[in-house]
Amino acid sequence: MERAKTRTGLKVTVDILTGVYATGKKCAAHFLETMKIVFDDYLPRWNYRAIPQQY
């Protein structure tokens, strides 16, 4: 994958995460109140963004 590029020259950067991450962890109590979660149209279960609200 690190050799992938587009016709216009856009290059890809690849980082492999080797850590073990626990599943099912809960977020902080106020996190969902202060952050807007935006799910991606493509693979929304894995692709999402947390956007802080401006006060």
Band of the pLDDT at 1, cuts 50, 70, 90? low
Average pLDDT value for residue range 37-46: 86
| CB hemisphere CA count around 38 (13 angstroms) | 5
Average pLDDT value for residue range 9-19: 79
Mean pLDDT, the chain, whole residue set: 80
pLDDT at 43 over 80: yes
HEC readout, the chain: CCCCECCCCCECCCCCCCCCCCCCCCCCCCHHHHEEEEECCCCCCCCEEEEECCC
